[in-house]
Protein backbone atom coordinates (compact mmCIF):
# COMPACT_ATOMS: atom_id res chain seq x y z
CA UNK A 1 0.00 0.00 0.00
CA UNK A 2 1.39 3.41 -0.94
CA UNK A 3 1.53 6.27 1.51
CA UNK A 4 -1.28 8.08 -0.31
CA UNK A 5 -3.59 5.09 -0.06
CA UNK A 6 -2.68 4.75 3.61
CA UNK A 7 -3.69 8.32 4.25
CA UNK A 8 -6.95 7.87 2.36
CA UNK A 9 -7.76 4.78 4.38
CA UNK A 10 -6.95 6.58 7.60
CA UNK A 11 -9.09 9.60 6.75
CA UNK A 12 -11.85 7.31 5.51
CA UNK A 13 -11.81 5.45 8.81
CA UNK A 14 -11.97 8.69 10.80
CA UNK A 15 -14.75 10.02 8.58
CA UNK A 16 -16.50 6.66 8.69
CA UNK A 17 -16.17 6.55 12.46
CA UNK A 18 -17.83 9.96 12.72
CA UNK A 19 -20.65 8.84 10.44
CA UNK A 20 -21.19 5.27 11.57
CA UNK A 21 -20.94 6.12 15.26
CA UNK A 22 -23.95 8.45 15.43
CA UNK A 23 -26.70 5.81 15.64
CA UNK A 24 -24.60 3.83 18.14
CA UNK A 25 -24.22 6.97 20.17
CA UNK A 26 -27.94 7.78 20.35
CA UNK A 27 -28.98 4.24 21.16
CA UNK A 28 -26.25 3.92 23.77
CA UNK A 29 -27.23 7.20 25.40
CA UNK A 30 -30.88 6.16 25.47
CA UNK A 31 -30.00 2.80 26.95
CA UNK A 32 -27.63 4.45 29.39
CA UNK A 33 -30.49 6.56 30.76
CA UNK A 34 -32.83 3.56 30.96
CA UNK A 35 -30.25 1.37 32.66
CA UNK A 36 -29.31 4.12 35.10
CA UNK A 37 -32.92 3.97 36.29
CA UNK A 38 -32.52 0.24 36.89
CA UNK A 39 -34.19 -1.29 33.88
CA UNK A 40 -32.90 -2.91 30.70
CA UNK A 41 -34.51 -2.28 27.33
CA UNK A 42 -33.16 -4.86 24.90
CA UNK A 43 -35.77 -3.77 22.38
CA UNK A 44 -33.83 -0.76 21.13
CA UNK A 45 -32.83 -2.69 18.01
CA UNK A 46 -36.50 -2.67 17.04
CA UNK A 47 -36.79 1.00 18.04
CA UNK A 48 -33.84 1.86 15.81
CA UNK A 49 -35.42 0.17 12.80
CA UNK A 50 -38.85 1.68 13.41
CA UNK A 51 -37.23 5.10 13.88
CA UNK A 52 -35.40 4.75 10.58
CA UNK A 53 -38.59 3.83 8.74
CA UNK A 54 -40.68 6.57 10.38
CA UNK A 55 -38.10 9.25 9.66
CA UNK A 56 -37.89 8.23 6.03
CA UNK A 57 -41.66 8.10 5.57
CA UNK A 58 -42.31 11.43 7.26
CA UNK A 59 -39.46 13.11 5.42
CA UNK A 60 -40.86 11.74 2.15
CA UNK A 61 -44.39 13.00 2.83
CA UNK A 62 -43.57 16.33 4.44
CA UNK A 63 -40.41 17.18 2.55
CA UNK A 64 -38.73 18.11 5.81
CA UNK A 65 -36.06 15.69 7.06
CA UNK A 66 -35.93 17.33 10.48
CA UNK A 67 -39.63 16.68 10.93
CA UNK A 68 -38.73 13.09 10.09
CA UNK A 69 -36.10 13.07 12.84
CA UNK A 70 -38.67 14.32 15.34
CA UNK A 71 -41.27 11.77 14.20
CA UNK A 72 -38.67 9.01 14.56
CA UNK A 73 -38.06 10.15 18.11
CA UNK A 74 -41.79 10.06 18.83
CA UNK A 75 -42.13 6.55 17.38
CA UNK A 76 -39.21 5.48 19.54
CA UNK A 77 -40.76 7.14 22.58
CA UNK A 78 -44.01 5.26 21.93
CA UNK A 79 -42.18 1.90 21.87
CA UNK A 80 -40.21 2.93 24.94
CA UNK A 81 -43.39 3.91 26.77
CA UNK A 82 -44.90 0.54 25.88
CA UNK A 83 -41.84 -1.24 27.30
CA UNK A 84 -41.91 0.97 30.37
CA UNK A 85 -45.59 0.34 30.98
CA UNK A 86 -45.44 -3.43 30.50
CA UNK A 87 -42.41 -3.83 32.74
CA UNK A 88 -44.12 -2.16 35.65
CA UNK A 89 -46.67 -4.99 35.80
CA UNK A 90 -45.72 -7.43 38.51
CA UNK A 91 -43.87 -10.65 37.54
CA UNK A 92 -42.95 -9.36 34.08
CA UNK A 93 -39.32 -9.72 33.05
CA UNK A 94 -37.73 -6.72 31.34
CA UNK A 95 -35.28 -8.73 29.25
CA UNK A 96 -38.03 -10.90 27.77
CA UNK A 97 -40.18 -7.84 27.07
CA UNK A 98 -37.18 -6.32 25.30
CA UNK A 99 -36.93 -9.34 23.00
CA UNK A 100 -40.64 -9.06 22.23
CA UNK A 101 -40.36 -5.33 21.54
CA UNK A 102 -37.43 -6.00 19.25
CA UNK A 103 -39.57 -8.34 17.15
CA UNK A 104 -42.61 -6.07 17.35
CA UNK A 105 -40.73 -2.89 16.38
CA UNK A 106 -38.97 -4.60 13.48
CA UNK A 107 -42.26 -6.13 12.34
CA UNK A 108 -44.04 -2.76 12.37
CA UNK A 109 -41.17 -1.10 10.52
CA UNK A 110 -41.12 -3.75 7.79
CA UNK A 111 -44.91 -3.72 7.58
CA UNK A 112 -45.31 0.02 7.07
CA UNK A 113 -41.95 0.45 5.38
CA UNK A 114 -42.70 -1.72 2.38
CA UNK A 115 -44.10 1.28 0.48
CA UNK A 116 -41.01 3.42 1.13
CA UNK A 117 -38.28 1.17 -0.23
CA UNK A 118 -38.57 2.66 -3.72
CA UNK A 119 -39.29 6.40 -3.32
CA UNK A 120 -36.56 8.88 -2.53
CA UNK A 121 -37.00 11.12 0.49
CA UNK A 122 -35.14 14.38 1.22
CA UNK A 123 -32.05 13.68 3.36
CA UNK A 124 -30.42 15.58 6.15
CA UNK A 125 -27.75 18.06 5.18
CA UNK A 126 -24.12 17.87 6.22
CA UNK A 127 -21.01 19.95 6.53
CA UNK A 128 -17.38 19.05 6.22
CA UNK A 129 -14.69 19.12 8.87
CA UNK A 130 -12.02 18.87 6.19
CA UNK A 131 -12.50 22.03 4.11
CA UNK A 132 -9.34 23.65 5.50
CA UNK A 133 -7.09 20.95 4.07
CA UNK A 134 -8.02 22.08 0.59
CA UNK A 135 -8.22 18.43 -0.48
CA UNK A 136 -11.51 17.50 -2.11
CA UNK A 137 -11.08 13.86 -1.11
CA UNK A 138 -10.53 14.62 2.55
CA UNK A 139 -13.36 17.13 2.60
CA UNK A 140 -15.74 14.52 1.20
CA UNK A 141 -14.52 11.85 3.60
CA UNK A 142 -15.04 14.09 6.61
CA UNK A 143 -18.63 15.07 5.82
CA UNK A 144 -20.52 15.02 9.09
CA UNK A 145 -24.07 15.56 10.13
CA UNK A 146 -25.39 17.97 12.78
CA UNK A 147 -26.98 15.01 14.60
CA UNK A 148 -23.50 13.89 15.63
CA UNK A 149 -23.03 17.18 17.44
CA UNK A 150 -26.52 16.93 18.94
CA UNK A 151 -25.57 13.52 20.28
CA UNK A 152 -22.40 14.83 21.86
CA UNK A 153 -24.32 17.72 23.46
CA UNK A 154 -26.95 15.30 24.79
CA UNK A 155 -24.17 13.20 26.31
CA UNK A 156 -22.59 16.17 28.03
CA UNK A 157 -25.94 17.42 29.34
CA UNK A 158 -26.82 13.94 30.55
CA UNK A 159 -23.49 13.48 32.35
CA UNK A 160 -23.89 16.90 33.95
CA UNK A 161 -27.50 16.22 34.94
CA UNK A 162 -26.64 12.86 36.52
CA UNK A 163 -23.99 14.49 38.63
CA UNK A 164 -25.55 17.83 39.48
CA UNK A 165 -29.32 17.88 39.34
CA UNK A 166 -32.13 16.62 41.50
CA UNK A 167 -33.54 14.68 38.57
CA UNK A 168 -30.20 13.04 37.93
CA UNK A 169 -29.99 12.02 41.56
CA UNK A 170 -33.52 10.59 41.48
CA UNK A 171 -32.73 8.49 38.40
CA UNK A 172 -29.50 7.20 39.91
CA UNK A 173 -31.15 6.42 43.22
CA UNK A 174 -33.97 4.54 41.53
CA UNK A 175 -31.40 2.52 39.64
CA UNK A 176 -29.25 1.76 42.64
CA UNK A 177 -31.90 0.90 45.17
CA UNK A 178 -35.62 0.88 44.56
CA UNK A 179 -36.43 0.54 48.28
CA UNK A 180 -34.55 3.72 49.18
CA UNK A 181 -36.19 5.57 46.29
CA UNK A 182 -39.54 4.45 47.64
CA UNK A 183 -38.56 5.54 51.11
CA UNK A 184 -37.82 8.98 49.70
CA UNK A 185 -41.32 9.12 48.26
CA UNK A 186 -40.19 8.64 44.66
CA UNK A 187 -42.42 6.61 42.36
CA UNK A 188 -39.99 4.00 41.04
CA UNK A 189 -42.33 2.91 38.27
CA UNK A 190 -42.85 6.46 37.04
CA UNK A 191 -39.12 7.25 36.98
CA UNK A 192 -38.37 4.05 35.05
CA UNK A 193 -41.29 4.63 32.72
CA UNK A 194 -40.01 8.11 31.87
CA UNK A 195 -36.40 6.94 31.57
CA UNK A 196 -37.43 4.17 29.17
CA UNK A 197 -39.61 6.55 27.15
CA UNK A 198 -36.89 9.16 26.78
CA UNK A 199 -34.38 6.39 26.05
CA UNK A 200 -36.71 5.18 23.30
CA UNK A 201 -36.92 8.71 21.90
CA UNK A 202 -33.13 8.91 21.63
CA UNK A 203 -32.90 5.49 19.99
CA UNK A 204 -35.58 6.53 17.49
CA UNK A 205 -33.56 9.63 16.60
CA UNK A 206 -30.55 7.36 16.10
CA UNK A 207 -32.65 5.39 13.63
CA UNK A 208 -33.50 8.51 11.66
CA UNK A 209 -29.80 9.03 11.07
CA UNK A 210 -29.55 5.63 9.39
CA UNK A 211 -32.26 6.30 6.84
CA UNK A 212 -31.77 10.06 6.34
CA UNK A 213 -28.01 10.42 6.34
CA UNK A 214 -25.83 7.34 6.35
CA UNK A 215 -26.37 4.92 4.60
CA UNK A 216 -29.23 7.26 3.70
CA UNK A 217 -32.03 5.10 2.36
CA UNK A 218 -34.66 2.83 3.79
CA UNK A 219 -34.50 -0.92 3.32
CA UNK A 220 -35.06 -3.94 5.48
CA UNK A 221 -31.39 -4.65 5.97
CA UNK A 222 -30.65 -1.15 7.22
CA UNK A 223 -29.84 -2.02 10.78
CA UNK A 224 -28.35 -5.36 11.51
CA UNK A 225 -27.68 -5.41 15.16
CA UNK A 226 -26.47 -1.84 15.73
CA UNK A 227 -29.16 -1.36 18.35
CA UNK A 228 -28.14 -4.52 20.12
CA UNK A 229 -24.43 -3.67 19.98
CA UNK A 230 -25.19 -0.26 21.42
CA UNK A 231 -26.88 -1.95 24.38
CA UNK A 232 -23.78 -4.07 24.92
CA UNK A 233 -21.69 -0.96 24.58
CA UNK A 234 -23.33 0.64 27.61
CA UNK A 235 -21.90 -2.07 29.84
CA UNK A 236 -18.48 -1.40 28.32
CA UNK A 237 -18.96 2.34 28.88
CA UNK A 238 -19.83 1.56 32.49
CA UNK A 239 -22.99 3.66 32.45
CA UNK A 240 -21.26 6.95 31.76
CA UNK A 241 -22.72 9.09 28.94
CA UNK A 242 -19.30 10.50 28.02
CA UNK A 243 -17.75 7.07 27.81
CA UNK A 244 -20.76 6.03 25.69
CA UNK A 245 -19.72 8.64 23.11
CA UNK A 246 -16.13 7.42 23.11
CA UNK A 247 -17.22 3.81 22.82
CA UNK A 248 -19.58 4.70 19.97
CA UNK A 249 -16.71 6.37 18.08
CA UNK A 250 -14.60 3.26 18.60
CA UNK A 251 -17.40 1.11 17.23
CA UNK A 252 -17.90 3.48 14.36
CA UNK A 253 -14.22 3.11 13.48
CA UNK A 254 -14.51 -0.69 13.63
CA UNK A 255 -17.51 -0.55 11.35
CA UNK A 256 -15.75 1.79 8.94
CA UNK A 257 -12.67 -0.40 8.37
CA UNK A 258 -14.36 -2.58 5.76
CA UNK A 259 -15.81 0.19 3.56
CA UNK A 260 -12.59 2.22 3.93
CA UNK A 261 -10.44 -0.64 2.64
CA UNK A 262 -12.95 -1.22 -0.12
CA UNK A 263 -12.63 2.40 -1.22
CA UNK A 264 -8.99 1.79 -2.11
CA UNK A 265 -9.74 -1.49 -3.80
CA UNK A 266 -9.02 -3.99 -1.06
CA UNK A 267 -12.00 -6.32 -1.05
CA UNK A 268 -10.39 -9.34 0.55
CA UNK A 269 -11.87 -10.32 3.86
CA UNK A 270 -14.94 -8.22 3.17
CA UNK A 271 -17.12 -10.51 5.26
CA UNK A 272 -14.64 -10.54 8.04
CA UNK A 273 -14.72 -6.76 8.24
CA UNK A 274 -18.50 -6.82 8.07
CA UNK A 275 -18.50 -9.10 11.06
CA UNK A 276 -15.80 -7.06 12.83
CA UNK A 277 -18.16 -4.90 14.93
CA UNK A 278 -20.00 -7.99 16.23
CA UNK A 279 -16.79 -9.77 17.06
CA UNK A 280 -15.40 -6.65 18.70
CA UNK A 281 -18.58 -6.30 20.78
CA UNK A 282 -18.34 -9.90 21.90
CA UNK A 283 -14.70 -9.51 22.90
CA UNK A 284 -15.46 -6.28 24.72
CA UNK A 285 -18.29 -8.01 26.58
CA UNK A 286 -15.97 -10.84 27.54
CA UNK A 287 -13.31 -8.41 28.69
CA UNK A 288 -15.59 -6.05 30.58
CA UNK A 289 -18.11 -8.50 32.07
CA UNK A 290 -17.42 -9.19 35.67
CA UNK A 291 -14.52 -6.74 35.83
CA UNK A 292 -14.06 -4.98 39.14
CA UNK A 293 -14.62 -1.56 37.60
CA UNK A 294 -17.87 -2.64 35.95
CA UNK A 295 -19.07 -4.16 39.19
CA UNK A 296 -18.39 -0.91 40.98
CA UNK A 297 -20.29 1.28 38.52
CA UNK A 298 -23.26 -0.95 37.78
CA UNK A 299 -26.65 0.35 38.90
CA UNK A 300 -27.65 -1.95 41.73
CA UNK A 301 -31.11 -2.82 40.42
CA UNK A 302 -29.96 -3.92 36.98
CA UNK A 303 -30.82 -7.48 35.99
CA UNK A 304 -28.52 -7.64 32.98
CA UNK A 305 -25.26 -8.13 34.82
CA UNK A 306 -26.52 -10.59 37.39
Per CB under 8 A, residues contacting other proteins are 42, 46, 82, 86, 89-93, 95-97, 99-101, 103-108, 110-111, 113-114, 224-225, 228-229, 231-232, 235, 271-272, 274-275, 278-279, 281-282, 285-286, 289-290, 303-305
Query: Is the Cβ of residue 102 or residue 173 nearer to other proteins in the bound state?
Result: 102
Q: How far is the CB of 287 from other proteins (least distance, A)?
A: 9
Q: Which is nearer to other proteins, 97 or 245 (CB)?
A: 97
Where b means 16+ CB within 10 Å and e means fewer, 247-276 reads: bbbbbbbbbbbbbbbebeeeeeeeeebeeb
To the nearest whole angstrom, how small is the minimum distance from the Cβ of residue 95 to other proteins?
6
CB of 46 to other proteins, least distance (A): 8
CB closer to other proteins, 92 vs 156 = 92
Return the number of the residue (72 or 97) whose C-beta is nearest other proteins: 97
Nearest to 237 by CA among 247, 251, 223: 247
Pick 67 or 304: Cβ nearer other proteins:
304
Nearer to other proteins (CB atom), residue 36 or residue 145 = 36
Pairing of strands 127-128, 143-144: antiparallel
Report angle CA 147, 220, 69 to the nearest 5 degrees: 25
Neighbours of 303 (CB within 10 A): 11
Rounded CA separation 301/34 (Å) = 12
Nearest C-alpha neighbor of 118 from the set 219, 221, 216, 207: 219
Q: Kindly state the smallest distance separating residue 63's Cβ from other proteins, in Å.
A: 25
Residue 220, SS3 per DSSP:
coil
Contacts of 119 (CB under 8 A, 6+ apart): 60
Please provide residue 123's backbone torsions phi and psi, each rounded to the nearest 5 degrees.
-95, 170
Separation between Cα atoms, residue 61 and residue 69, nearest integer Å: 13
**Burial (Cβ within 10 Å: 0-12, 13-18, ≥19) of residue 176:** middle
- Can you spell out the DSSP letters for 52-120? HHHHHHHHHHHS-HHHHHHHHHHHHHHHHHHHHHHHHSTT--HHHHHHHHHHHHHHHHHHHHGGGSSS-
Nearer to other proteins, 65 or 200 (CB): 200
CA 164 – CA 260 distance, rounded (Å): 41
CB of residue 112 to other proteins, shortest distance in Å: 8
* Smallest separation (angstroms) from other proteins to the CB of 306: 9
As measured in angstroms, the least distance from the Cβ of 83 to other proteins is 9
Least gap, CB of 94 to other proteins (angstroms): 10
Nearer to other proteins by C-beta: 3 or 89? 89
Amino acid sequence: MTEGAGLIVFVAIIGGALRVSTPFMFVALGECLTEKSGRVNLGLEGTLVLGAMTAYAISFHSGSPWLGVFAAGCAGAALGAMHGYICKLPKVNDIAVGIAMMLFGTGLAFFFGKAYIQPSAPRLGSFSLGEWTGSQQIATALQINPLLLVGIVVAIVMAWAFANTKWGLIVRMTGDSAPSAKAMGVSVDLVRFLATTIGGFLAGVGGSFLSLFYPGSWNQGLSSGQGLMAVALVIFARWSPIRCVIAALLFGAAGAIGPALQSVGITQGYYFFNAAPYILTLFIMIASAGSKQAMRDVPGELSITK
